[in-house]
Structures are given as structure tokens and as C-alpha cells.
Amino acid sequence: MATQDSFLHLARPLGPAPVSAQFGTSPIDVKIQPQALFSILDHSLRRGKDQDRVIGTLLGTRSDDGTTINIENCYAVPHTETAEQVEVDMDYQKTMLALHLRANPKEVLVGWYATSSDLNTFSALIQNFYGQQGDGTFPHPAVHLTVSTEPGQAPESRTYISAPIGTTEERRADSCLFIPVPHEIKYGEAERSGLDLISTAKDREDRTASVVGDIEALERAIEHVVEMLERVQNYVSSVLDEEAEPSTALGQFLLNALSLAPKVEPADIERDFNNHIQDVLVVSYLANTIRTQIDLSNRLATAALTMGGGAADGNTGADGEKKEGGQRRSGRGGRGGRGGRDGNDRRQNGERNAEAAVEAA
């Protein structure tokens, strides 16, 4: 962790050259989306046998003043590293960047990642490459994200920006001062349900989980809430029994939560409840009716041939009443079909009424 390394904490540098005052010395705030992290971890699993670490490009968005960086996406870049030299596939980086920008025009290059916490001379070289003028992130600083993937240790991520260092031109090219910046891992609203499912897979032996249905999900949610309530209840009763240390902050918080419950007359509740349940009933009834009609028409469409011609003819009258029945039978659609259409119209009227009812509620 941070205790064993020492960082030189300085004010944020103003980029390689004092170009403008558009960004002050306020610290950079880095937010990492989970899917970028997942990509990085996946990449580190797919690295070559002889590679200690792999690198890649980070894409994302930058706030207008450049102080907040949102890392949303990333892709792997092949590179080879020996004791003497490092080689990054520049062509690959360029093609891939162009390809990514075509699919996500909003994202820009923000920096690079490596799957090891070590910072060495090569890191500085690559960092300068990503931060350079032209293809790099200049005038914004390039962000360097390291994710340690050492087996047996907790995964750990860090973010840095850099300052130029060195007196001569050559020295400046292969050295830089890495400055740690704070970062957080954030997920968007849309990813919530996905992550929820993914995280259920983590506790299982085979690391898999099935997609759950709506009702099961609801059941699980209720269970979770009940669990939470029990926990709070336990805490409160242990405070009352003087077993646990009472905390004013927690008490205040619980009081606030309790006061959020709306004050509604029981009669109002009863009325709203009845109204709502009737609306839902109507809609679900209609949906079921339609469903039955389709199934019926399906049966008639596939089964009509097995019946003799006479029997089928005898059914025509009945089919007229079965609304959709005539629709798909060949040979005698006229009557059944017309009945079907009327039925449809009728049903649609019913639906519109139901709709109105839902809207009114």
C-alpha cells in the first residue's frame, strides 16, 4: 500500500509548458467506470507468457475545465519490454484509436494503463508519449492508471499525472515525475442492474449466475430490505439493553429516515390501493385475453387441416364469435375474419378505456 512507497507530493504542474491559465492548480479528479476496469483485468489475463505487465490506452470524457476525468473505456495496446528497451506498437495505437472514435465519437484519449504498480523508466517514456503534443493529450495531462494484478494480493489501483523533469532534451524524454491523484470507481445508473447480477456470481464456486426473472428479483429485493431492517432492529434493541455503545449520529440518521415516511390517512390509502389494483387488474385481464386469443388462433391455424372439411365448415359460425379465429384459416376467411376484426376493434376500445383509466390514476 501507499505506506511502503514514498511519493513526492507537489502542487499540480502546469503541463509541459506554461501554455495558458485555463487549468489552475486544483487537483485532478479521476472517475473510473467499472467496464474500463473489467477490460483492464481481462487484458491482464490474456497477456503473453513472458509479459510481466501489459499496457493500453484509456478513453473517456473530460469536464470543461479539465479537472474531472471520467475514464469510460479502454483498449489494449501490444508492447514488448526488455531490460534495455521498450517498444509500443504506435500504428496499432493509432488504428485502434480511430476505430474506437468512430463508434464512440464522444470519447477522447485521456491516458494509459499498466497492469503493475511499478513505475520505472519505461513508464516515464510511455507517459511522455501519451502526454505529448499532437497525438497525445496535450495540453491536458495524461492520466496513468496502474492496476496491480499480483496473485495472492488484493488488487489495487492508482492514478497518476506527471510533471516534466530533466535539464536536457534527452533526459526530459525518458523521465518524468509521477504525481498521484485521487480517483474513485463509479458506476452509472444503467450499469447498476448489470453489476448487481455480475456481483452475485462472485460468491459462487463456479463463478456463474443466471439471469433472474422479475418476480425473483423482487423477492430478493424484499429479502434484502427485511435483512436490513432486522439489522437496524438488532442494533436499536442492543442499544436499549445497554449492550452497544449508543451513537448520536446513528440515532439522528435513523430518526431522519423514519420521518421520511409519508403521513397519509388510512382511508386515502385504502382508496388509492383499490383504484390502483383495479387498474392493474384491468390491464392484466386485457393482456391475458389477448394472449388467449392469439393462442386460440394459433391452434386453429395449425389444427384446422386435421379436421374434415365438413367439421371445419360447421365451425365457421363459432369462429366468428371467437374473433380472431378465422384469420388464418384458408378457404373460408370471410365470415370468421370479419368477426375477428370487429372483435379486435371492440377489444381495442376496451384497451383505450383501460389506458384512460391508467392515466387517470
Which residues in 172-211 contact other proteins (CB under 8 A)? Answer: 185, 188-203, 206-211
- Which residue lies nearer to other proteins by CB, 100 or 172? 100
- Which residue lies nearer to other proteins by CB, 16 or 319? 319
Q: CA-based diameter of the chain, in Å?
A: 102
Give CA separation, 141 vs 19, 93, 129, 299, 343, in Å: 12, 18, 11, 67, 68
How many residues lie near other proteins (CB under 8 A)?
A: 114
- Contact string (CB under 8 A) for other proteins, positions 130-169, x = contact: -------------------x----xx--------------
**Taking a C-beta distance cutoff of 8 angstroms, is the pair 72, 32 a contact?**
no
- Interface residue with other proteins among 247, 334, 346, 353 (CB under 8 A) is 334
- Interface residue with other proteins among 127, 128, 162, 327 (CB under 8 A) is 327
Tell me how far, at minimum, the Cβ of 178 lies from other proteins, in Å.
23
Tell me how far, at minimum, the Cβ of 39 lies from other proteins, in Å.
6
Candidate ranges 10-18, 135-143, 159-167, 264-272; the one touching other proteins (CB under 8 A): 264-272
29-32 β-sheet, strand order = 176-181, 156-164, 143-148, 108-114, 55-62, 68-77, 29-32, 183-185
Cβ neighbours of 36 (radius 10 Å): 23
- Contact string (CB under 8 A) for other proteins, positions 23-42, x = contact: ----------xxx-xxx-xx
Residues 6+ apart with CB under 8 A from 264: none
CA 105, chain centre distance (Å): 19
- Interface residue with other proteins among 302, 311, 313, 321 (CB under 8 A) is 302
Our finding on whether 301 is near other proteins (CB under 8 A) is yes
- Which residue lies nearer to other proteins by CB, 77 or 181? 77
Tell me how far, at minimum, the Cβ of 266 lies from other proteins, in Å.
7
Distance from C-alpha of 249 to C-alpha of 326, rounded to nearest angstrom = 70
Tell me how far, at minimum, the Cβ of 6 lies from other proteins, in Å.
24
Our finding on whether 52 is near other proteins (CB under 8 A) is no
- Which residue lies nearer to other proteins by CB, 80 or 133? 80
Choose among 79, 144, 137: nearest CA to 113: 144
- Which residue lies nearer to other proteins by CB, 33 or 146? 33
**Taking a C-beta distance cutoff of 8 angstroms, is the pair 91, 102 a contact?**
no
- Which residue lies nearer to other proteins by CB, 93 or 162? 93
Candidate ranges 8-16, 129-137, 314-322, 335-343; the one touching other proteins (CB under 8 A): 335-343
- Which residue lies nearer to other proteins by CB, 171 or 338? 338
Tell me how far, at minimum, the Cβ of 64 lies from other proteins, in Å.
19
Rounded to 10 degrees, the C-alpha dihedral 69/70/75/79 comes to 30
Distance from C-alpha of 77 to C-alpha of 123, rounded to nearest angstrom = 14
Distance from C-alpha of 6 to C-alpha of 2, rounded to nearest angstrom = 7
- Interface residue with other proteins among 9, 18, 25, 266 (CB under 8 A) is 266
The footprint of other proteins on residues 70-109 (CB under 8 A) is 72-73, 75-78, 89, 92, 95-96, 99, 102-104, 106
Tell me how far, at minimum, the Cβ of 53 lies from other proteins, in Å.
13
Candidate ranges 126-134, 160-168, 173-181, 352-360; the one touching other proteins (CB under 8 A): 352-360
Choose among 117, 158, 197: nearest CA to 32: 158
Residues 6+ apart with CB under 8 A from 63: 69, 70
CA angle 198, 203, 207 (to 5 degrees): 65
Our finding on whether 232 is near other proteins (CB under 8 A) is no
Our finding on whether 348 is near other proteins (CB under 8 A) is yes
Residue 182's φ and ψ, nearest 5 degrees, are: -70, 150
- Return the H-helix or E-strand segment holding 31: strand 29-32
Residues 6+ apart with CB under 8 A from 138: 15, 16, 131, 132
